[in-house]
Structure 1
């Protein structure tokens, strides 16, 4: 039997689904190039991971809680509940470190943050009803999840200070007039991927007030908040949420390690019907039972053991990793200042985020796949075109640099190569054309 693409789901034609594969293909063809493309954790953060020790620590914890050693062992080898088995440990850590007071029953442990996004969107959106707003630019994972579920997505401009709240309010008004009101907003308030934006405390409070006034939910992604420098931390939207407007999504991919594939969602909103009241988390868990059944108990045990070994603290678990990413980000921005600097401005400019993994560079020409091929083949340096992160093609003159995966010496050499690439292939030809 032969199938025609037109007979398959439309999302399979969406460029978003092929964006990661494209970058992997380019990286495989230029293995010697220094790559600023992957937003992956630094290899040094994986060196001291001892899976067996963490599992044993979690088993000891289960025994201390009252299970027999055999019951604890079987808990890790059987399917387990869809909601998860480390909810209490995660709940305690969030309360202690981040001021998020969510009961274990309001959490669902997911297969990474990506599954959490898919499940939350599936729970919140009925067919052809409601709109999802996203920051523009936006993480491709949420856009891809929305495409898979046939959810309408509308962009709202994001500046260095976070999502444009005036623009969001106008989006709410327009959507309401069209009979398709805004159902939810996806936002990453701390060092968003790929924009690097961070919302001020004032803007966070204003966003929550707007969500309450316009009656939409905020889906908060908190993957990079841990990279804030000590003393500059801001409360998450969920920590400020007194009206249950925020569905909070977290991941252990960065603070622990990505191979565990463990994330979580806090969904403490009440769902009331004639048959009673339950939490949105109950509905998310029910959906999960039809998708992945449960998150691997063994993987959960590893994460639970890591947290327990660090005193049940997310801050302590992520402290060394945060220092590495702060060092790398500082190195990247400083290297851009030194190697690119005033000589290539104003044709080349970049933002200066205070945390996260990413820096955005603006070019006077399109940062497309053809330009990337030249950069990789002739200059030995890779980056990510920003166009894929925008819903309106606004980022076609931008590229993203990720500093998370590289050592300092590679960041230095990579920026030196970038500077040569910018000078030879972009600035000189561009200035020549305008004279």
Structure 2
């Protein structure tokens, strides 16, 4: 059989992160490559009680198909949760459950983007967003970020440039709090300016907030969605970082017309998200377990962040720089510009240490001398040893390029 696949596969490329998974079976490999929460953060005992109660009280419903938009009582609890944690006022009908936030990214691109339509992202940005937008043939344009988030002056200049050519971005995608991959947080002033730009040019903002509750120090910054008075912001959340990623449960908060379109698309994707996961999340919120678990996770991750930064300071070459995030799961390391971290990865894997090269986080692979390091997953001793191995690899690479 000579299969004839659709043109869409010209745009879809394999994820470097997923490609690294084949090495995870090697017990000697220390991987900073994935974005996985630490299993020690999973509320296992609480889940045992919740599951038992669900089987006793909702068993037949929890094991049945659910509605496409998601469990009503869960959406009500989510409305309470985002009001308490992010200051977002949302009604039940403005919330839809998704099979992980990755499905939400794919759905948003699908309902807004026609082939080659421009979409604005941060540079660097989440590799999963790049995959989702590529799968919908978006023409992504990355706006540089610094320690205060997206450069909004550069953003407005790009919008004006596109306008002169008769083009307008379909949306602006940002991860303003503990950005993936850089770990940076957008300042309040820039958030307000971004919202003003969105309103002035009538371009929606997609605010992705997987890590907002994982704050280790510093003061919280108001979410963009909480300041949105005119329905300009589409907000994405997930249970993966505050409950468990294996349950594959995310959500979108947006104006009803957007939710309705996602609902229609989701009917063609999976009919509905997992009913059992939705009942688990409902009980997890209703019982307040999420508010007991998050501080434990924060304490665990804060120590790991500090340990990785201390190890970088001790072992990495002087020319290397890195972000020092107030929360989240990642550090962004920049090396001598002569080093190509994509090419260096083979050398690192031979030394039994893994990372994700910086170019994977740019829509067109623009930059090559950076890497993303995850500090949440590895055991403490492996963080130290992994940074030692990586420092050795970098020093070897420097001898080659000099």
Length-normalised TM-score, structure 2: 0.93
Find 2:362's aligned residue among 390, 399, 407: 390
1:328 equivalent in alignment to 2:300 = no
Residue 3 of structure 1 corresponds to which residue in structure 2?
3
8 Å Cα contact 2:218-2:326 kept in structure 1? no
Q: Is the 8 A contact 1:221 1:250 kept in 2?
A: yes
Please give the per-residue CA displacement for 1:188-221, whole angstroms capped at 9, x wherever unaligned.
0011111212101111111111110111000010
1:416 paired residue number: 388
Q: In 1, Cα distance between the equivalents of 2:10 and 2:17? A: 14
Q: 5 Å matches for 1:50-129?
A: 50-57=46-53, 72-85=58-71, 86-125=74-113, 127-128=114-115
The CA distance in 1 between the partners of 2:12 and 2:159, in whole Å, is 26
- Paired residue for 2:278? 300
Contact (CA 8 Å) 1:113, 1:264: kept in 2 or not? Answer: yes
Query: Is 1:356 the equivalent of 2:344?
Result: no
Q: Distance in 2 between matches of 1:106 and 1:49?
A: 32
Offset, 1:245: 0.9
Partner residue in 2 for 1:288: 266
Task: Classify 1:170/1:197 alpha carbon distance in 2 versus 1 (closer, same or farther; 3 Å).
Answer: same
Question: Is the CA contact 1:226–1:315 (under 8 Å) kept in the aligned structure 2?
Answer: no
Give the drift of 1:262.
Answer: 0.4
Q: CA RMSD in A?
A: 2.1
2:181 counterpart of 1:228: no
Cα contact 2:104–2:252 (8 A) shared by 1: yes
- Residue 44 of structure 2 is matched in structure 1 by 48
2:119 match: secondary structure: strand
1:372 aligned to which of 338, 345, 348: 345
Shift of 1:131: 2.1
Q: Which secondary structure state, in structure 2, belongs to the residue aligned with residue 298 of structure 1?
A: helix
Q: Which of 11, 29, 33 is equivalent to 2:29?
A: 33
2:212 is aligned with 1:239 = no
Equivalent residue number for residue 144 of structure 1: 131
Q: Which secondary structure does the structure 2 equivalent of 1:234 belong to?
A: coil
What do residues 376-413 of structure 1 show as CA deviations (whole Å, max 9, x unaligned)? 21x32211111111124332111111111012221112
User: Which structure has the larger Rg?
Assistant: 1
Find out whether 1:24 has 2:24 as its counterpart.
no
Aligned to 1:426: 397
Give SS of 1:123's match: helix
Q: How far apart are 1:26 and its partner, in Å?
A: 3.8
The answer for the alignment partner of 1:271 in structure 2 is none
Q: SS at 1:247's partner residue?
A: strand
> Quick check: 160-169 or 362-371, which moved more?
362-371
Shift of 1:130: 4.4
Deviations 1:154-200 (A, max 9, x none): 11112221111011101111221222212210100011111212101
Q: For residues 262-273 of structure 1, what are the structure 2 equivalents within 5 Å?
A: 262-268=249-255
Deviation at 1:281, TM superposition (A): 1.4
Contact 2:116 2:137 in 1 (8 A): no
2:288 corresponds in structure 1 to 310
Residues 345 and 262 (structure 1 numbering): CA distance in 2 closer, same or farther, change over 3 Å? same
Distance 1:353 1:57 in 2: 39
The correspondence of residues 157-172 of structure 1 with structure 2, limited to 5 A, is 157-172=144-159
Tell me the residue number matched to 1:204. 191
**Deviation at 1:416?**
1.9
